[in-house]
Amino acid sequence: MIRIIFLILISSLGLALSFSPFRFSWLFAWFGFLSFFFAIGSLKTKSKVFIFSYLEGILFWLFTIYWLIYVTFLGYILLVLYLGLYFAIFGLFFHKFKESNFLNINFLSALWVLEEFLRSYLFTGFGWALLGYSQYKNLFLIQLADIGGVWLVSFIITAVNIDLYYLFNQVRKTKYILFILFLIGISLIYGYFRLPSLNSSDKFFKISLIQPNIPQEIKWDIQERDFILNKYFNLTEKVIKDSPDLIIWPEASLPCVLEEVPFYFEKVRDFVIKNKVNLLLGAVTYQDGLYYNTAILISSNGEIKEKYNKIHLVPFGEYIPLRKFFGFLETIVPIGDFAKGNDYTVFKLLTSNYELSTTFSVLICFEDIFPEISHQFIKRGANFLINITNDAWFGKSTAPFQHLSASVFRAIENRVFLLRCANTGISGFISPEGKITYLKGINDHLIFTEGYFTQPIGIKENITPTFYNRYPYLFIGILFFIFGYGIIDKLWKEKRR
């Protein structure tokens, strides 16, 4: 029993470390499941398999999203208990299908990715810490995401883990070694030949990011409004010398509800007109009796060009799902009362001399972890994406790095630039290849430091949709087929016996 618990602890900690910012943390994902497989593979009863698989899931999520405790302890525990069930289900299937053959490798890998897909949608979705995200620094390997999205990368990692387990349990090991080499080799070869083909652009736009590092505890303090806005103005004045085509402030950068205290928004407009700059900022807005988390584009003449109201709200953060049953939670944890937007807004950006134009869309907060939202923006004509966010809630933790990893995949899946502007970091530019250029503050710190950063981004006149962008659910459909075939094959073999 102690051996089983030790193996479970090693596996859950190793998998959690693969989502940490350490230099070679991505390596842990390739063998993180191994001790977990050895642990449950030796168990005899389904009840024990379920219990220890559930323990694996609970420990993994406790280690991975520990930063949620800074916001809500109760929510942290409830979410961990729910997410752990996916490991429990996977463990039961693994124990049932642990016989070594290539069908089972593909079946179990498909099951894991389908679980990731389902938890990204069920109950409004929590697509955090998908296995593929652990590889966001592994540039050559993740280029396959433009074919099958992050799901394809997750599938390959899972298959390697299962193959390694079979490798250790077989006398004849050659075919399993060759299969691992095939999976990793085909990924690296695709990346090697795909990357050079992406370095072409027809026009360039110079974009500036402002990272103010406003502490969460003063962000909505009435007495701090002038201090906050002046900080934005001071940083923005410094970046104006770069002559940017667009300046970006992070999510909810206006320190009040726009319509309730219009004085501060007027100060922003006056600043824009005076300096003749295009400004994108986040604000809480009030429309028709409802509050929205909004992105606003102000042109250099002070005109509001477009607004985008956040479509995918944070459950139990920005609203309460099934308020009839969970309404009591607003007295326990800090929950907003926002309405969701309905339109996939595409903004139009004109350069200061009106010679060039392009389009972009905005992902607010954690909307970048949902591939379909980015897909819909690109489908509607956006040439690049911007993520404005505020990760100050989660302190000096791994949360901003985990959040960043999702943005990398949205850039690769759609082959567009994705710009991140975060209150406390991580801010920077992500190229269509997935390369990250960070905004670094004092002592090269990426989080909880203020700063500004300007960089040109290249835009093609006619963006060719990626295979993934054209068929975003094709690979998931293939996985459902593999899963269904595996179930039928297993039942048929048991019936014949």
Q: Using CA of residue 275, residue 281, residue 287, residue 289, what is the dihedral sign? A: negative
Q: Is the pLDDT confidence value at 358 over 70?
A: yes
Closest CA to 159 of 61, 37, 23: 37
Neighbours of 40 (CB within 10 A): 24
Instruction: State the pLDDT at residue 332.
Output: 45
Average pLDDT rounded to a whole number, residues 397-405 = 95
Q: Are 418 and 384 within 8 A, CB to CB?
A: yes
Q: Is the pLDDT confidence value at 376 over 80?
A: yes
**Which residue out of 310, 413, 421, 433 is catalytically annotated?**
310
Per the annotation, the verdict on 256 as an active-site residue is: no
**Which residue out of 251, 367, 433, 450 is catalytically annotated?**
251
Q: What is the rounded CA–CA span in Å between residue 194 and residue 125?
A: 31
Q: Are 389 and 400 within 8 A, CB to CB?
A: no
Report the greatest alpha carbon distance in the chain: 82
The strands making up 357-364's β-sheet, listed across from edge to edge, are: 347-350, 357-364, 384-389, 418-422, 428-430, 436-438
Consecutive H or E run containing 40 = helix 34-41
Per the annotation, the verdict on 251 as an active-site residue is: yes
Closest CA to 67 of 388, 369, 393, 336: 393
The average confidence (pLDDT) of the chain is 90
**Which residue out of 116, 365, 413, 421 is catalytically annotated?**
365
pLDDT in tens, 298-326: 999 999 999 999 998 887 666 565 554 55
Per the annotation, the verdict on 310 as an active-site residue is: yes
CATH class of 201-465: alpha beta
Neighbours of 234 (CB within 10 A): 13
pLDDT in tens, 425-483: 899 999 999 999 999 877 778 899 999 999 999 888 777 899 999 999 999 999 999 99
The residue type found at 89 is I
Instruction: State the pLDDT at residue 463.
Output: 78
Bridge-based pairing of strands 384-389 and 347-350 is unpaired
Bridge-based pairing of strands 384-389 and 436-438 is unpaired
pLDDT in tens, 187-201: 999 999 998 877 777
Q: What is the rounded CA–CA span in Å between residue 89 and residue 101?
A: 21
* Tokens 């387990």, located at residue: 165
